[in-house]
Amino acid sequence: MKTLRQYIKEANEKGVAIGHFNISNLEALHGIYNAAKKLNLPVIIGLSEGEEKFLGREEAVALVHTIRERDDYPIFLNADHHASFNSVKACIDAGFDAVIIDAAKLPYEENVAVTKQCVEYAHKVMKNTGRDILVEAEMGYIGSGSDMKDSIPEGAGILTNPDEAKKFVEETGIDLLAPSVGSIHGLIKSGKPHINAELVKEIRKTVGIPLVLHGGSGLRDEDFVNAIKAGISIVHINSEIRLAYKEAVEKFIEANPSEITPAKILTGAVQAIEEVVEARLRLFNEIK
């Protein structure tokens, strides 16, 4: 099977993007996998530190690896927004395919130092085991939390400077960069700002490594299309999945207050997540 690195390269050459979707339970994993498999597309499963704590680090690896090996299917696992070297290291040791060291809020030199430490550790493990591990880092601040927000949080949305990004990439040796180009984490009730596709293009050209768009939930379709055309190779979606899950469970319980069988209560939630993911994957891959 091709590595995630190879799938990202292919996506970049084709002008499409790989979908990255977060999970904290088995229902979300099933919904996401059903959609990816239906469209025969590679897919990345992400777990933030909180999601990982709830589902279990080794459990997540076992689930994703089981699907990958059983179906010979390109499904990959990413440690999403991990804030320290130790939490990144734990995921690398557990068998994750990719990690994000999220130190963008730290002063520049500290961000470089911890990111470099993660890259060096990933390289060491790759050398010793023959595994391929991707390290991503963030520049600029796009807010935190895949939740419902009334408005854009203070301090979020500071756009990434292409020259600073180039310097950061050269100093750290990261494989993927998450720039701040207009999106914000979470579903913003008043609507998200537009993606600055010109900036995406400039950053992609300047840094020379694949770019990842975070904070995908609630963006307009044309913003995804323009961002991908401009050089985004992976798109992250989380809040839309959480909302679909919650609404489906609520709807079911309201209509069936005496039902207590989890499989019955949660089947609609799996389907709702599948629908969200399928629509996003079609858009990212120009599938009608």
Catalytic residue ranges: 80
Q: Which residue stretch of 23-31, 160-168, 211-219, 255-263 sits at the interface with Zn ion (rule: CB under 5 A)?
A: 211-219
Quote the least distance from Cβ 239 to ligand G3H, whole Å: 3
Q: Which residue stretch of 61-69, 127-135, 202-210, 214-222 sits at the interface with ligand G3H (rule: CB under 6 A)?
A: 214-222
Q: Which residue stretch of 86-94, 167-175, 234-242, 270-278 sits at the interface with ligand G3H (rule: CB under 6 A)?
A: 234-242
Residues 6+ apart with CB under 8 A from 38: 274, 278
Taking residues 231 to 270 in sequence order and writing x for each that binds Zn ion by CB under 5 A, - otherwise, the string is -----x----------------------------------
Quote the least distance from Cβ 205 to ligand G3H, whole Å: 23
Taking the least distance from each CB to ligand G3H, the nearer of 187 and 252 is 187
Residue 182 interacts with, from ligand G3H, Zn ion, none (CB under 5-8 Å by kind): none
Residues 6+ apart with CB under 8 A from 184: 142, 143, 149, 152, 153, 156, 157, 192, 193, 215
Interaction between residue 233 and ligand G3H (CB under 6 A): no
**What gap in Å lies between CA 115 and CA 95, rounded to an integer?**
19
**What gap in Å lies between CA 215 and CA 77, rounded to an integer?**
18
Longest dimension (CA), the chain: 60
Taking the least distance from each CB to ligand G3H, the nearer of 46 and 179 is 46
Q: Is 138 annotated as a binding residue?
A: yes
Taking the least distance from each CB to ligand G3H, the nearer of 196 and 217 is 217
The answer to whether the Cα torsion of 288, 228, 274, 76 is positive or negative is: positive
Interaction between residue 82 and Zn ion (CB under 5 A): no
Taking a C-beta distance cutoff of 8 angstroms, is the pair 248, 267 a contact?
no
Taking a C-beta distance cutoff of 8 angstroms, is the pair 34, 274 a contact?
yes
Find the binder of Zn ion among 20, 214, 242, 280 (CB under 5 A): 214
CB neighbourhood size of 69 (10 A): 10
The answer to whether the Cα torsion of 52, 58, 59, 65 is positive or negative is: positive
* Ranges within 77-96 binding ligand G3H (CB under 6 A): 80-81
Point out the annotated binding site for Zn(2+).
81, 102, 138, 185, 214
